[in-house]
């Protein structure tokens, strides 16, 4: 048996030894922790263990906390350093981890202990936070199959293991198919319209492979500028087709996610039926704020009704412009982003690339830190700790000289890193054997890296993404709850977890914030007020089209998990047909028939958003209304960075984490129920749409 002192994955005394851990540490460390946790759980489930908080719940929590933390490191490395060695190590242990937690969710002895504690006289004496933890445990046991007949439990475990494996496969197929494509341009004329930094990056990518010309890939820092700026319709079409058909039958069959989607949907439907639900969507909303799929559908349909007229107006304007100014009698799908950027430039006299030059990464980070420090009275400082890549930064958050949390910041795209942006927990705040462990988080993005001796520059969308992920991180790091089950982001309803992140995005549109974090990468000049005014004027540019696109994804996800009866693996054609039906209802842009969006929809097939993608819009109502409190406090003042309101937001929303229902936290902060008007106003949709 591996001893705790010889394996860096088993050292929990401080931050992870990213300079020492290697893929061959994974199996011995995780096996050790699995066996150790299982021994503890077996002992706690015995009749002789008193069903009390101190005798049962605390050791029960400790039994799985180290396992979860170590496996979190492995999962993190699988996401940010997806080499063949790390992928093999992760996938080898994934079935065992899935099996362990599936069996724990059905452990009758542990379930009966929680049930006995809930019925005991001690339960009434526990504080509300601990009562909520027990209530959640009982709910989660029911959803994990603890109340199933014994003969059904093995099948339920098989489903959990299979779903974990299929989700990992979906994500890996998407990354591999993305990495497999490259377009090499040798005719310099095809580079017309592209920003200089994108051209330099493409040239460097080709040189790295010993090739002539310029290399373009499907990773966002390369793909998106081509779609927005390349004058070459041939190049745009080539890139669009490759991106739209990733991980599908149109490419290498070994990466086709179609069969995986079908199996995932069938297994989720079977799981839901076993637990007594009509659909997986009904199961999904049980731990969320929403009461039912019907309530969510009504919410989404109402927003779609309000937004679609604006989307139709946006599209009509774009088509007219493309026809009259760009000579596009028919606007192809690969023309939309290009024509939109040209329209934005014509209407508001600026381009995203022009704005980008004013947002060098170091200056943006300083501005972001300034917002956080102004709102909450904390300080962010550079820290030193081992990391998995030289570009990763470590930060510490302090208040009154005391460290309250730490953060890993990994901002740049790499070939071994999955796409997108996310925040994850590395360690939760908790009391451990009388000692307070402060929380640690990861913030991961895929921004363009620096080229040459200049710092990386961010688009305004990148800046917004960074603020968004930091909102999640602050939710995790500024918690004041010591119980790990509801500390930080844990225990927060999934359709409320986006509140703090979307809330932070609003500050990216405030002049006192933006002016302080801008500095032209060449001249050092701050962003001109006139250019910022144009950005604000353009804020609602195509907001109708953007909203119906998000509603399309949300409705597709919910209906997919609520309406399709999956007694067997669902055919990809069935999935695509449902998506077509949703698009007829809400979309104004209909992609080509060969487009395979579902095959890359990792949020619902490989992430935590299955039957929950609506959470973005649901939480956006909350976040827009929460930000309105700062707008009200800042009326007549130079800045919305109001410390008193910030302190109240920290106290009532961030500090409490999942220790009480999210709607109670919102009411405590806002003093009333949430209202949709702030979201409509921020989206430019308060005028009459009838």
Per residue in 381-431, pLDDT (tens digit) is 999 999 999 999 999 999 999 999 999 999 999 989 998 999 999 999 998
Q: How far apart are CA 611 and CA 293, in angstroms?
A: 9
Distances (CA, A) of 607 to 136, 231, 285: 22, 35, 16
Angle ∠(199,202,203) on CA atoms, nearest 5: 85
Q: How far apart are CA 172 and CA 605, in angstroms?
A: 12
The residues that bridge with 91 in the sheet, in sequence order, are none
pLDDT in tens, 577-615: 999 999 999 999 999 999 999 999 999 999 889 999 999
Question: What is the CATH classification number for the domain harbouring 137?
Answer: 1.20.1050.40
Q: Is the residue at 626 inside a domain?
A: no
Q: Are residues 392 and 338 in the same domain?
A: no
10's tokens: 């088993």
Report residue 383: phi and psi, to 5°: -125, 165
Distances (CA, A) of 58 to 44, 129, 329, 431, 499: 11, 14, 68, 10, 30
Q: Are residues 125 and 59 in the same domain?
A: yes
Q: Are residues 481 and 401 in the same domain?
A: yes
Question: What is the CATH classification number for the domain harbouring 277?
Answer: 1.10.1370.10
Q: Are residues 345 and 454 in the same domain?
A: no
Q: Are residues 33 and 63 in the same domain?
A: yes
Domain end among 147, 169, 196: 147
Q: Are residues 193 and 104 in the same domain?
A: no
Indicate if the alpha-carbon torsion angle 680, 686, 688, 689 is positive or negative: negative
Q: Are residues 200 and 238 in the same domain?
A: yes
3-state secondary structure of 292: coil
Mean pLDDT, rounded, of the chain: 94
Domain end among 580, 613, 646: 613
> Residue 4 pLDDT > 70, yes or no?
no
Q: Is the residue at 157 inside a domain?
A: no
Q: Is the residue at 142 inside a domain?
A: yes
Tell me whether residue 209 is one of the annotated catalytic residues: no
Q: Is the residue at 168 inside a domain?
A: no
pLDDT in tens, 514-562: 999 999 999 999 999 999 999 998 999 999 999 999 999 999 999 999 9
Q: Are residues 132 and 56 in the same domain?
A: yes
Q: Is the residue at 130 inside a domain?
A: yes
Q: Are residues 65 and 142 in the same domain?
A: yes
Of 137, 161, 172, 469, catalytic:
469
pLDDT in tens, 140-197: 999 999 999 999 999 999 999 999 999 999 999 999 999 999 999 999 999 999 999 9
Question: Which residue range is the domain that position 116 belongs to?
Answer: 8-147
Q: Is the residue at 115 inside a domain?
A: yes
Q: Is the residue at 334 inside a domain?
A: yes
Q: Are residues 372 and 475 in the same domain?
A: yes
As for how many domains the chain has, the answer is 4
322's tokens: 């493309």
Work out the burial of residue 512: count CB atoms within 10 Å of its CB; fewer than 13 is exposed, 13-18 middle, 19 or more buried: middle
Write the CB contacts of 58 (distance below 8 Å, at least 6 apart in sequence).
none
Angle ∠(89,91,93) on CA atoms, nearest 5: 75
Question: What is the CATH classification number for the domain harbouring 421?
Answer: 1.10.1370.40
Domain end among 613, 647, 663: 613
Containing 260, the helix (H) or strand (E) segment is helix 258-274
Q: Is the residue at 287 inside a domain?
A: yes
**Would you list the DSSP string of 545-582?**
HHHHHHHHHHHHHHHHHHT---SSPPPHHHHHHHHHHH
Q: First CA to last CA across the chain, in angstroms?
A: 70
Bridging pattern class, strands 422-427 and 440-447: antiparallel
Q: Are residues 377 and 442 in the same domain?
A: yes
Q: Are residues 572 and 515 in the same domain?
A: no
């Amino acid at each position: 048996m591996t001893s705790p002192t010889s394996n860096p994955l088993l050292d929990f005394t401080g931050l992870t030894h990213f300079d020492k851990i290697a893929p061959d540490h994974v199996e011995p460390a995780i096996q050790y922790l699995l066996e150790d946790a299982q021994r503890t759980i077996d002992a706690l489930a015995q009749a002789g263990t008193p069903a009390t908080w101190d005798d049962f719940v605390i050791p029960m929590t400790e039994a799985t906390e180290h396992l979860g933390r170590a496996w979190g490191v492995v999962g993190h490395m699988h996401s940010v350093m997806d080499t063949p060695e790390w992928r093999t190590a992760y996938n080898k242990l994934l079935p065992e981890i899935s099996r362990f937690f599936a069996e724990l969710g059905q452990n009758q002895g542990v379930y009966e202990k929680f049930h006995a504690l809930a019925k005991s006289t001690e339960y009434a004496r526990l504080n509300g936070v601990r009562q909520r933890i027990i209530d959640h445990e009982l709910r989660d046991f029911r959803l994990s199959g603890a109340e199933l007949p014994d003969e059904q439990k093995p099948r339920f475990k098989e489903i959990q293991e299979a779903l974990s494996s299929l989700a990992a496969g979906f994500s890996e197929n998407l990354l591999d198919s993305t990495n497999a494509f490259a377009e090499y341009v040798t005719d310099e004329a095809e580079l017309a319209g592209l920003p200089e930094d994108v051209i330099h990056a493409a040239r460097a990518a080709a040189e790295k492979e010993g090739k002539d010309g310029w290399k373009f890939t499907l990773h966002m820092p390369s793909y998106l500028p081509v779609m927005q700026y390349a004058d070459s319709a041939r190049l745009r079409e080539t890139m669009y087709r490759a991106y739209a058909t990733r991980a599908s039958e149109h490419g290498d069959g070994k990466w086709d996610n179609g069969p995986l989607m079908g199996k995932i949907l069938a297994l989720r439907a079977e799981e839901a039926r076993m637990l007594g639900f009509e659909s997986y969507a009904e199961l999904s909303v049980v731990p969320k704020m929403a009461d039912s799929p019907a309530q969510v559908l009504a919410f989404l349909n109402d927003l779609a009704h309000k937004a679609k007229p604006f989307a139709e107006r946006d599209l009509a304007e774009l088509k007219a412009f493309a026809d009259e100014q760009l000579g596009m009698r028919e606007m192809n799908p690969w023309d939309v982003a290009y024509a939109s950027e040209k329209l934005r430039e014509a209407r508001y006299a600026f381009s995203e690339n022009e704005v980008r030059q004013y947002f060098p990464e170091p200056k943006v980070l300083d501005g972001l830190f300034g917002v956080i420090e102004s709102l909450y009275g904390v300080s962010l400082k550079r820290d030193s700790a081992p990391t998995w890549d030289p570009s990763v930064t470590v930060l510490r958050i302090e208040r009154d000289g005391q460290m309250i949390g730490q953060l890993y910041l990994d901002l740049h795209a790499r070939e071994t890193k999955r796409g997108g942006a996310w925040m994850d927990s590395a360690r939760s705040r908790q009391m451990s054997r009388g000692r307070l462990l402060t929380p640690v988080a990861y913030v991961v993005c895929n921004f363009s890296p620096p080229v040459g001796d200049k710092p990386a520059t961010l688009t305004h969308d990148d800046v917004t993404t960074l603020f968004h992920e930091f909102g999640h991180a602050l939710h995790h790091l500024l918690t004041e709850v010591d119980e790990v089950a509801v500390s930080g982001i844990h225990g927060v309803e999934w359709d409320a977890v986006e509140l703090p992140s979307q809330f932070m995005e609003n500050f990216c549109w405030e002049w006192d914030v933006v002016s302080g974090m801008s500095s032209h990468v060449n001249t050092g000049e701050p962003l001109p007020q006139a250019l910022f005014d144009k950005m604000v004027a353009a804020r609602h540019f195509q907001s109708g089209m953007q909203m119906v696109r998000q509603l399309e994804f949300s409705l597709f996800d919910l209906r997919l998990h609520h309406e399709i009866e999956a007694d067997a693996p669902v055919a990809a054609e069935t999935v695509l047909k449902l998506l077509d039906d949703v698009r007829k209802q809400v979309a104004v842009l209909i992609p080509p028939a060969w487009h395979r969006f579902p095959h890359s929809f990792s949020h619902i097939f490989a992430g935590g958003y299955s039957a929950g993608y609506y959470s973005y819009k649901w939480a956006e109502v909350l976040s827009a209304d929460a930000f309105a409190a700062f707008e009200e406090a800042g009326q007549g003042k130079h800045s919305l960075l109001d410390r008193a309101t910030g302190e109240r937001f920290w106290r009532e929303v961030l500090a409490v984490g999942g220790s009480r229902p999210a709607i109670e936290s919102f009411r405590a902060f806002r003093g009333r129920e949430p209202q949709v008007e702030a979201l409509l106003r921020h989206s430019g949709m308060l005028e009459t749409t009838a």
